Amino acid sequence: MEQQFDTSKLGMWLFIVTEILLFGGLFVGFGLMQHKYPGEFLEAHEHLKQDVFGMPFPLYGAINTIVLLISSWTMVMGVNAAQTNQQKKTVRYLVVTILLACVFLCIKYVEYAHKFHDGLLPGIFYAHQSEDLIKGTHGYATFFAFYFMMTGLHGIHVLVGIGLLSWLVMRARRGDFTSEYYTPVDLVGLYWHVVDMIWIYLFPLYYLIS
Amino acid sequence: MSTHTESHSQHSEAHAHHGGPKIYTANLFALLFLTIITVAAASFNFGSANVVIALAIATVKATLVAMFFMHLIWDKPVNSIIAIAGFLFLGIFLMFDFLDVTSRNVYPPRNLPNMENATPTPDSMNPLKTPAPRPLDPAPAKAEAPAKAEEHK
């Protein structure tokens, strides 16, 4: 059992590396494009900020960062509960994690809805109606292409995470997990922390350009 | 939220685990604190160091997540090696790309003194470089930008 657990974990870490490289490629692309259109990226990222007490502040992004960090904590607490044979607690922590993931997606939806409304769409769909359009369409459209690509891909990961967590809740309620066997909880936990980790990089790079 | 902490000596199972709610909660607060620092740091202008500072704080946060939430600090070292290798190769990828784009047209080969008279690579074929004002360059085809935008309005 011990060996099986270690092997599964090793496999999960290999998968995590592929995830890091997948997002890494996109981050490098983003960096190159920011190098090419520094001014336009700076202006475009202002559209990710909201008006908070008269100051532009990346409200949605900041809240989402906090939500994901807390969800990472509930996840690890769920793993801990599974490790120590506390089935009810495991279920509770996993359900809270799912709820936080849903909160994340809801905020993301509100954010996307604003962008769609303003015509801040990726690539050829970019249709923002203002003088920006003439000033720097390429930079803007590129920024939003990367923004939607990366946050969208991250959002898909969150969705997959919700699916995996729901499956864990189902199994945990059935009493599948004990301190002897909690591999799935541990591995989904690792996945969930990677999703959190990607957001840790996305947040400053998109919302806090200066 | 229960503050009840487990005494691990009672659970003598096959997999030794050393983390605990206390460590995880402390880690969460450290991460939240670093988030506040990132947001605060972004409101000051450190010039070109801005992105470096943001990435450094993000890397500290990612390391905290990996070490404590992902149990790397208590795990078999092979998992850490894999994780570090992943980031290392990403770092190489990033580093060489930025060496490339930040050093273009800056260092002409010394063994070719007549580079000025050679036919330069047209910037239209260089996807990462906006046309630079150089005498031998073909005229930059900039006019198409607004026209294209009109099309897709």
Query: Which residue in chain A is spatially nearest to B126 when comparing CA positions?
Result: A36
Nearest alpha-carbon partner for A202 in B22, B44, B62, B7: B62
For an interface test with A, which of B51, B69, B102 has the most A Cβ atoms less than 10 Å from its Cβ?
B69
Compare all CA atoms of chain B with the CA of A198 and give the residue at the minimum distance.
Answer: B62
Question: Which pLDDT belongs to residue B1?
Answer: 40
Q: Do B130 and A36 touch (CB under 8 A)?
A: yes
Q: What pLDDT score was predicted for residue B11?
A: 42
pLDDT in the model for residue B121: 65
Report the pLDDT value the prediction gives residue A136, as an integer from 0 to 100: 54
A-chain residues near B11 (CB < 8 A): 83-85, 179
* Contact check, Cβ <8 Å, B24/A76: yes
Residue A50 is classified by DSSP as E
Judged by DSSP in three states, B5 sits in coil
A80 contacts B19? CB cut-off 8 A? yes
B34 CB-contact burial (10 Å; exposed 0-12 / middle 13-18 / buried 19+): middle
**Rounded Cα–Cα distance for residues B34 and B36 (Å):** 5
Check B128 against A127: CB less than 8 A apart.
no
CB contact under 8 A, A32 and B130: no
Please answer yes or no on whether A89 and B2 come within 8 Å at the CB atom: yes
- Identify the closest residue of chain A to B147 by CA–CA distance: A134
The predicted structure's pLDDT at residue A187 = 95
Residue A65 amino acid letter: T
Identify the DSSP state of B75. S
Answer whether 0.95 is exceeded by the pTM.
no
Ranges of chain A whose pLDDT falls below 70: 123-124, 129-137
pLDDT at position A144 is 87
The distance of A69 to chain B (nearest Cα, Å) reads: 7
Contact, A207 vs A48, CB < 8 A? Answer: yes
Closest CA relative to residue A23, chosen from B62, B26, B73, B111: B62
Closest partner CB to B11 (pick from A69, A85, A204): A85
Tens of pLDDT, residue by residue, chain B (153 residues) = 444 444 444 444 444 557 788 999 999 999 999 999 988 888 787 777 888 888 899 999 999 999 999 988 888 899 999 999 999 999 999 889 888 887 776 666 666 555 555 566 666 666 666 555 556 555 555 555 554 545 454
Cα A70 → chain centroid:
13
Contact B149 A89 (CB under 8 A): no
Task: Please name the member of A2, A69, A193 whose beta carbon is closest to the beta carbon of B35.
Answer: A69
Structure tokens at B95: 């580093």
List CB contacts (< 8 A) between A205 and chain B: 51, 54-55, 58
Interchain contact, A80 vs B21, CB within 8 Å: yes
CATH topology of domain A2-207: Four Helix Bundle (Hemerythrin (Met), subunit A) (1.20.120)
Q: CA-CA distance, A137 to A143, in Å (whole number)?
A: 10
User: Quick check: B146 and A137 CB within 8 A?
Assistant: yes
H or E element that contains A108: helix A87-118
- Predicted pLDDT at B99: 87
Q: Residues 6 or more apart from A101 whose CB is under 8 A from it?
A: A71, A158, A161, A162, A165
**Contact between chains at B75 and A9 (C-beta distance less than 8 A):** yes
Mutation for B interface: A55, A66, A69, A140, most B CBs within 10 A: A69
pLDDT of residue A94: 95
Q: Give me the pLDDT at residue A143, please.
A: 87
